[in-house]
A and B are shown apart, each in its own frame.
Chain A
Amino acid sequence: MRWFGFGFNAFGQIYDHDKLSKSEKIGTDEDVKVSSPLELTTGTDCCSKSVRIKASWSRRASLHLGGESCLCLAGFGAVTSTESSGALIKHSRGCTDVYISESYLTLAFPDRVEAWDLQKEEKTPSWSEEIRSQSETSGPPLSLPLVSGGYIAMKPPLYRSLSPHLKAKSLALSAAHAILLTASGAVFTWGLGSHGQLGHGGLTSEEEPRVVEALWGMSMTSVAAGGWHSVCISDGGDLYVWGWNESGQLGLPSRGLRKALQQQESAGASYQHTGKTTADEQQEGEKNEEVFISIQAFPALLDVTPSCEVKTVSCGSRHTAAVTTSGNLYTWGWGDYGQLGHKNLVSSDEPLCVEFFKEKQMCVVDVVCGAWNTFAAVVKKEVKIKS
C-alpha cells in the first residue's frame, strides 16, 4: 500500500521541501500548494505493509502497523524540536490507533488511551485512561476518537461521555460539531448548527446527540465531518451531504464558489479553468434557472457518478473526498491549496475524478483528509488479460 498526498504543505507535512531547513523558511507556491498527488516517503527504517494516516492543519501522523507498530509525525514541529517529538515517537511503540487535531495527539494502546498536548513539550500525556480488555466488551474495536464509554474531544474537557444506549460505532468530529454512527446504522449529530451541519432542517445548535430523522429507515455505514459540513455513506453506497456549501463542499451548485472564481478571473490570476468561461457558465445557469444552494439543512443525496458505489469518504475544512468501490477518487469543494488534486488551484462544486490515479493505473483504496489537504492510499490495479 502506498500513500499519496496533495494540498497544503506549508509545514512540510506532505514532503519536506529543502528551504524549510534554511533561513528562508517559506517555499514557493508549488512547495506550499501541492496540486498533483505526490507519493509520501515513509522515511523510517521500519518497512510496514500497513500504514494508517491522520492529518490536522499543520501535521500528518503516520501509524505503521505491524509487529512493533510505531508513529511518525510530519509537519509543524517535526523538524525543529527533535527531542520531544522523538520522545513521542519512542513512546508510541505498540500503539494501535491514532487521532490528531491541531492541539492534541491521541494514541490508543491495547491497555490505555493517551492524549498529548502538542502545544506544550511535556513528558507525560495531558490525559490518559486505562481501558478494559476487548474481550469484555462486545462488538468490533472502537476507532478514535471513540473510546469506551465516550470520546476524546478536540479541546478540554478532553474526555466526553456518551450514553451506552447510543451504541456508538464510529464518530466524526469537527472543531464545532459531531456526527455519530450507531451500531444500528442511525446517525446522530450535535454541536454547532449555524450552517445546517447537523441536518435537522434548521440552524440551531444542539447540546445533546439528536438523531437525523431524514435518514431514518436507511442504514448508514460511515460518517465524516468537515469544518461546516457532514457526509455519510449508506449501505448501498450512496452519499448523503448536508451543511455549508459556500465553497462547493457539498457538491451542489454554489453561488459563493462562482463568485470567487469570477473574482479570481478578473484579478487576472493564472489559474487553469475547467474548460468553460464564467460567462458561459453564467448563461448556462440562467438558462437552466440554476438553483444555488448555500446551506443544505437536511441531508441530500449526491450523485457522484451514476453507476458507482462510494466506499469511503473523508472531509477537510471545506472540501470532500470519496473513494468508489471501483477504485476511483473523487474530490470537490475548496481547491485554493491544491487539495482537490486536479493539477490546479480551482475549487469545484461538483465531484471530479482525480485523473492522476487513473492515468497511473492505480486503484485508490482509502482517503483521509487534513484541514486543507488530502491523502490517498493506492494499490496497483490488477490488469485482467484476456486469455
Chain B
Amino acid sequence: MAALWTKISAVLPPSEEQFPLQFSDKVESSVVEMLRRSRQQLYVHTTKNSQILNAQIILDFSWEKLNMGTWRDVDKEWRRVYSYGCLFKAAALCQEDPSAEEILLAVKTCDMGLLMGAAIMEDILQVIVRILQGEVRKSAKEEKEREYPQVKRSKFEPPRVPVIKEEQAVPRIRCPSLESFNTNYLLPLRPVILEGIIDHWPALNQRPWSIEYLRSVAGCRTVPVEVGSRYTDEEWSQTLLTVNEYIDRYIEHKDGGKAVGYLAQHQLFDQIPELKEDIRLPDYCCLGEGEEDNITVNAWFGPGGTVSPLHQDPQQNFLAQVVGSKYIRLYSPEDSDKLYPHQSQLLHNTSQVEVENPDMDRFPKFAATPYLDCVLKPGEVLFIPVKHWHYVRSLELSFSVSFWWS
C-alpha cells in the first residue's frame, strides 16, 4: 500500500515551489492561506489527520460558495478551490498505509471534485482517480477469488410493451449516406430510426455492456442519481451514489425497496474515460454547424419503468440504444399548443400531460394530437430533431447514450 503513495506523489509536482496556486481576487486571502497550508503539508511531514482537517476546511468553505445562487452564477474560481480541496483530501487519505475504506473515500472525493469542481493542474483529479481505481480493482480481484457472491435473480416481469401501429411508427432506414440523411431527415427535421450505424461500437462487440462490466469498470465511482418516478413529481430528488450502490439498490433491489432510481442525463463518459472508449461519435454529427467539442454526450442507465416526461430540447439528438429497450413517443413542435407545457420558467420545456395516462378533462386537445412512436432496441439510433417533443419509458433494464449536437 505504500506503493500507492509513491504512485500518487509521482503525479504531483516535485516540490512545494512548483505547485501552482493562483486565484483571482474573488478568493479571499484567508482562503488562499488555507490552501497554502495544505500545499505545504504535502511536502513537509504532517499527520494525516491534520491534512484531512485542513482540506475539509477548504471543502466546506468552497461548498458554501458553490451553493450560493444558481449553478450558472457560481464563479469558476470557487469550483477550482473546491477541486484543490478534493485533491488535498484525497492525497491525505492515500498516505500512511490507507485502508480499503480510505481508498474508496479517496475515489469518492476525486469524483466530487470532477462533478462539482473545475479542472485543475491538467485534470489531476482524473489522473489520481485512475491510479486509485487500479488499486480498487486489484483488491476486488483478490476478493472475488476468495468468495463467489450469490447474485439474486429478480423475478422476471415481462414489460408492458405498447403496440406500435404501422401508420404512426417512426420510419426506419439502414446506414443511410450522409447526404441522404441530410436531405431526407435533418433538413426537413423528420424523426427516423437509423439501423446498423453503431454495430461497430465496442459496447456492442468486444466489450459488451452489462451489469457486471459496469461494476468492474466503474463500480466504485460516484454518480448523480434521480430518485422518484419522474422529475415533475413533488417527491423527486437527486442524490449521489457509487455505481455499485446504485445497481444494488435500484437495479437489483437488494434492500427490497421499490423506489425508482435513474442514472439520467449524466456526462458519465467525461468522468470515466474507459467507458468513452466503448462508444463512437455518430458520423452524422458532422452535418451540424457546431464544433465537435460542443457535442454533449449523456448516459441514461436505469431499470425498467423509468419515465422521462414529454419534453423538448434545444438541440438535435441521436439517442443510441445499447442495452435493453425503450418505448418512445414523438410529437411535432407545431403541435406545442396542444401539449400544455408548464408555465414556469423552470419547466416551460416540459408538458403537463402524462402521455400514457392523460387527463382528458384537463388536457382535452391532447388525445387527438398526431404522433410517431417506436420501441427502440439495442443497436438502433433514434434521430430526435431539435425541439421535437419526446416521451421515453424504459421497458426493461436499459442503457442509452444520447448525443446533443447543433
Specify which chain B residues have a CB less than 8 angstroms from the CB of A336 in the assembled complex. Answer: 60
Binary flags per residue of A254-270, CB closer than 8 Å to B gives 1, else 0: 00000000000001000
Partner of B64, one of A10, A192, A194, A227: A227
| Nearest neighbor of A227 in chain B, beta-carbon distance | B64
Bound form: Cα–Cα A76–B60 in Å: 17
Are B40's CB and A25's CB within 8 A?
yes
Specify which chain A residues have a CB less than 8 angstroms from the CB of B60 in the assembled complex. Answer: 336, 372
Provided the pairs A25-B40, A102-B28 are in contact, do residues A175 and B68 lie with their beta carbons within 8 angstroms? yes
Residue B182 lies at the interface, judged by CB distance under 8 Å to chain A: no
Are B30's CB and A57's CB within 8 A?
yes
Provided the pairs A10-B57, A32-B53, A317-B64 are in contact, do residues A26 and B69 lie with their beta carbons within 8 angstroms? no
Binary flags per residue of B55-66, CB closer than 8 Å to A gives 1, else 0: 001001100100
Residue A103 lies at the interface, judged by CB distance under 8 Å to chain B: yes
Partner of A29, one of B33, B46, B49, B101: B49
Partner of A228, one of B50, B57, B67: B67
- For the complex formed, measure the closest distance between the CB of B343 and the CB atoms of chain A, giving whole angstroms: 14
Within 8 A of B (CB), among A282-338: 317-318, 336
Within 8 A of A (CB), among B386-405: none
Specify which chain B residues have a CB less than 8 angstroms from the CB of A318 in the assembled complex. Answer: 64
Binary flags per residue of B67-79, CB closer than 8 Å to A gives 1, else 0: 1111000000000
Residue A230 lies at the interface, judged by CB distance under 8 Å to chain B: no
Are A26's CB and B41's CB within 8 A?
yes
Secondary structure type dominating chain B contacts: helix
Are B28's CB and A26's CB within 8 A?
no
Residue B124 lies at the interface, judged by CB distance under 8 Å to chain A: no
Bound form: Cα–Cα A103–B27 in Å: 10
Residue B29 lies at the interface, judged by CB distance under 8 Å to chain A: yes
Residue B334 lies at the interface, judged by CB distance under 8 Å to chain A: no
Specify which chain A residues have a CB less than 8 angstroms from the CB of B61 in the assembled complex. Answer: 57
Residue A362 lies at the interface, judged by CB distance under 8 Å to chain B: no
Secondary structure type dominating chain A contacts: loop
- For the complex formed, measure the closest distance between the CB of B33 and the CB atoms of chain A, giving whole angstroms: 7
The number of chain B residues with a CB under 8 A from chain A is 25
- For the complex formed, measure the closest distance between the CB of A16 and the CB atoms of chain B, giving whole angstroms: 15
Specify which chain B residues have a CB less than 8 angstroms from the CB of A24 in the assembled complex. Answer: 46
Binary flags per residue of B17-47, CB closer than 8 Å to A gives 1, else 0: 0000000010011100110010011001010
Residue A176 lies at the interface, judged by CB distance under 8 Å to chain B: yes
Bound form: Cα–Cα A175–B28 in Å: 13
Provided the pairs A57-B61, A227-B64 are in contact, do residues A192 and B69 lie with their beta carbons within 8 angstroms? yes
Specify which chain B residues have a CB less than 8 angstroms from the CB of A138 in the assembled complex. Answer: none
- For the complex formed, measure the closest distance between the CB of A80 and the CB atoms of chain B, giving whole angstroms: 9
Partner of B33, one of A23, A76, A176, A372: A76
Within 8 A of A (CB), among B93-150: 101, 105
| Nearest neighbor of B54 in chain A, beta-carbon distance | A26
Bound form: Cα–Cα A118–B34 in Å: 16
Specify which chain A residues have a CB less than 8 angstroms from the CB of B30 in the assembled complex. Answer: 11, 57-59, 76-77, 102
- For the complex formed, measure the closest distance between the CB of B101 and the CB atoms of chain A, giving whole angstroms: 8
Specify which chain A residues have a CB less than 8 angstroms from the CB of B29 in the assembled complex. Answer: 76-77, 118-119
Within 8 A of B (CB), among A333-382: 336, 372
Binary flags per residue of A92-121, CB closer than 8 Å to B gives 1, else 0: 000000000011000000000000001100
Bound form: Cα–Cα A267–B100 in Å: 12
Bound form: Cα–Cα A32–B40 in Å: 18
Are B64's CB and A26's CB within 8 A?
no
Provided the pairs A102-B28, A176-B68 are in contact, do residues A26 and B37 lie with their beta carbons within 8 angstroms? yes
Bound form: Cα–Cα A227–B65 in Å: 10
| Nearest neighbor of A334 in chain B, beta-carbon distance | B60
Bound form: Cα–Cα A227–B60 in Å: 13
Residue A133 lies at the interface, judged by CB distance under 8 Å to chain B: no
- For the complex formed, measure the closest distance between the CB of A282 and the CB atoms of chain B, giving whole angstroms: 13
Bound form: Cα–Cα A58–B64 in Å: 15
Residue A28 lies at the interface, judged by CB distance under 8 Å to chain B: yes
Are B68's CB and A28's CB within 8 A?
no
- For the complex formed, measure the closest distance between the CB of A372 and the CB atoms of chain B, giving whole angstroms: 8
- For the complex formed, measure the closest distance between the CB of B105 and the CB atoms of chain A, giving whole angstroms: 8
Binary flags per residue of A265-284, CB closer than 8 Å to B gives 1, else 0: 00100000000000000000
Specify which chain B residues have a CB less than 8 angstroms from the CB of A176 in the assembled complex. Answer: 68-69
Bound form: Cα–Cα A194–B74 in Å: 13
Bound form: Cα–Cα A10–B29 in Å: 14
- For the complex formed, measure the closest distance between the CB of A228 and the CB atoms of chain B, giving whole angstroms: 7
Specify which chain B residues have a CB less than 8 angstroms from the CB of A228 in the assembled complex. Answer: 67
Specify which chain B residues have a CB less than 8 angstroms from the CB of A57 in the assembled complex. Answer: 30, 61
Specify which chain A residues have a CB less than 8 angstroms from the CB of B101 in the assembled complex. Answer: 267
Specify which chain A residues have a CB less than 8 angstroms from the CB of B57 in the assembled complex. Answer: 10, 32
- For the complex formed, measure the closest distance between the CB of B357 and the CB atoms of chain A, giving whole angstroms: 28
| Nearest neighbor of B27 in chain A, beta-carbon distance | A119
Specify which chain A residues have a CB less than 8 angstroms from the CB of B37 in the assembled complex. Answer: 25-26
Are B50's CB and A28's CB within 8 A?
yes
Provided the pairs A25-B40, A26-B37 are in contact, do residues A194 and B50 lie with their beta carbons within 8 angstroms? no
Are A119's CB and B64's CB within 8 A?
no
Specify which chain A residues have a CB less than 8 angstroms from the CB of B69 in the assembled complex. Answer: 176, 192, 194
Specify which chain B residues have a CB less than 8 angstroms from the CB of A102 in the assembled complex. Answer: 28, 30
- For the complex formed, measure the closest distance between the CB of B234 and the CB atoms of chain A, giving whole angstroms: 12
Are B33's CB and A26's CB within 8 A?
no
Specify which chain A residues have a CB less than 8 angstroms from the CB of B70 in the assembled complex. Answer: 194
Specify which chain B residues have a CB less than 8 angstroms from the CB of A175 in the assembled complex. Answer: 68
Partner of B28, one of A28, A119, A227, A317: A119
Within 8 A of B (CB), among A49-76: 57-59, 76
| Nearest neighbor of B25 in chain A, beta-carbon distance | A119
Specify which chain A residues have a CB less than 8 angstroms from the CB of B33 in the assembled complex. Answer: 76
| Nearest neighbor of B65 in chain A, beta-carbon distance | A175
Partner of B53, one of A26, A58, A103, A119: A26
Closest 6 CB pairs of A and B: A58-B30, A76-B30, A26-B50, A102-B28, A176-B68, A119-B29
Residues of B bordering A, CB below 8 Å: 25, 28-30, 33-34, 37, 40-41, 44, 46, 49-50, 53-54, 57, 60-61, 64, 67-70, 101, 105
In the complex, besides A10-B34, A29-B49, A102-B28, 4 extra interface pairs with C-beta distance below 8 angstroms are A26-B37, A26-B46, A76-B33, A194-B70
Could you list 10 A-B pairs, sorted by A, with CB under 8 Å? A10-B57, A24-B46, A25-B40, A26-B37, A26-B50, A28-B50, A57-B30, A77-B30, A175-B68, A267-B101
